[in-house]
């Protein structure tokens, strides 16, 4: 199945470059381009792409506001947002994930890494650069945004023992195949547990499982990760 991508960036040259890269890749196509957040949201609602490749700094509603609107739209539950920023700024990583983004990459990624990232996000996988992952552990999880959700430990308690085990491994960045091998079960079984955990924790995708896993103490941040 072809992955349908919406490009959202205020730089026309960059959009053209991404379009050529994506359109020449088997199994992907660019369905539209947006130059600002408002246009990105309108096109997402009209076309319902699989992935929105979203820049953060754009005129009008920026990429973060557009991401929050896309991820909060009940008619766009099948649309994932991959943030592509010029740098790994701590506040952007935090805000992007809180807005509901499924991934965060820097614009210095290679073409192969970008295409792999689009595929991963389209498949419902979490995608964070190493620097963004360290930021998530050291800042976002250390000072979570309470919002109006129930306390994290209470939500984690709703998971079965196996679901907690799978969630912890997923939060460490392990794939379904790796988790299956570790727990001696099938990848399909792992996928089922991940899906159930996502439903119980109100997570759009695996990226959203990371925060409650660390906040609840289900997974402990490694000292070396925080100190890099």
pLDDT at 101 over 90: no
Cβ atoms within 10 Å of 86's Cβ, excluding its own: 12
Strand order in the sheet with 28-34: 28-34, 3-8, 51-54, 80-85, 103-106, 127-128
- The mean of the pLDDT values for the chain is 81
Phi, psi of 30 (to 5 degrees): -90, 125
The reported pLDDT for the residue numbered 90 is: 58
Distance CA 27, CA 16 (A): 18
The reported pLDDT for the residue numbered 152 is: 54
Distance CA 44, CA 67 (A): 10
Domains of the chain listed by start with CATH number: 3-140 (3.40.50.2300), 152-227 (1.10.10.10)
Distance CA 223, CA 175 (A): 23
Running DSSP on this structure, what letter comes out for residue 206?
A: T
Closest CA to 144 of 98, 199, 200, 96: 98
CB-CB contact of 145 with 91 (8 Å) = no
- Give me the mean pLDDT over the 66-83 stretch: 91
Listing DSSP states for 24-69 in one string gives TSTTEEEEEEESSHHHHHHHHHHH--SEEEE-SS-SSS-HHHHHHH
Cβ atoms within 10 Å of 54's Cβ, excluding its own: 30
The reported pLDDT for the residue numbered 102 is: 83
Which of 44-53, 64-73, 92-101, 157-166 has the highest average model confidence (pLDDT)? 44-53
> CA distances (Å), 52 to each of 43, 55, 62, 66, 107, in order?
10, 9, 14, 10, 15
| pLDDT tens digit sequence for 154-207 | 678 889 999 999 988 887 777 788 889 999 998 889 888 988 898 888 877 676
| pLDDT tens digit sequence for 8-62 | 999 999 999 999 999 999 999 999 999 999 999 999 999 999 999 999 888 878 8
Distance CA 213, CA 171 (A): 7
């Amino acid at each position: 199945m072809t992955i349908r991508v919406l490009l959202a960036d205020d730089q026309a040259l960059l959009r053209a470059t991404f379009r050529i890269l994506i359109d020449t890749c088997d199994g992907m196509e660019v369905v539209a381009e947006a130059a600002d957040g408002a246009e990105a949201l309108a096109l997402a609602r009209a076309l319902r792409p699989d992935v929105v490749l979203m820049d953060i700094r754009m005129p009008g509603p920026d990429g973060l506001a557009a991401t929050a609107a896309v991820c909060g739209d009940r008619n766009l539950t099948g649309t994932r947002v991959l943030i592509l920023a010029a740098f790994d700024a701590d506040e952007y990583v935090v805000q992007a994930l809180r807005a509901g983004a499924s991934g965060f990459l820097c614009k210095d990624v290679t073409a192969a890494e970008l295409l792999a990232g689009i595929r991963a996000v389209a498949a419902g996988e979490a995608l964070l650069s190493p620097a963004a992952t360290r930021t998530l552990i050291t800042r976002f999880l250390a000072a979570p945004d309470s919002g109006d959700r129930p306390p994290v430990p209470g939500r984690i308690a709703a998971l079965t023992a196996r679901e907690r085990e799978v969630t912890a491994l997923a939060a460490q960045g392990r794939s379904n195949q790796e988790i299956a091998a570790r727990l001696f079960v099938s990848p399909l079984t792992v996928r089922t547990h991940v899906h159930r955990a996502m439903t119980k924790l109100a997570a759009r995708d695996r990226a959203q499982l990371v925060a409650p896993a660390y906040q609840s103490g289900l997974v402990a941040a490694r000292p070396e990760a925080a100190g890099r």
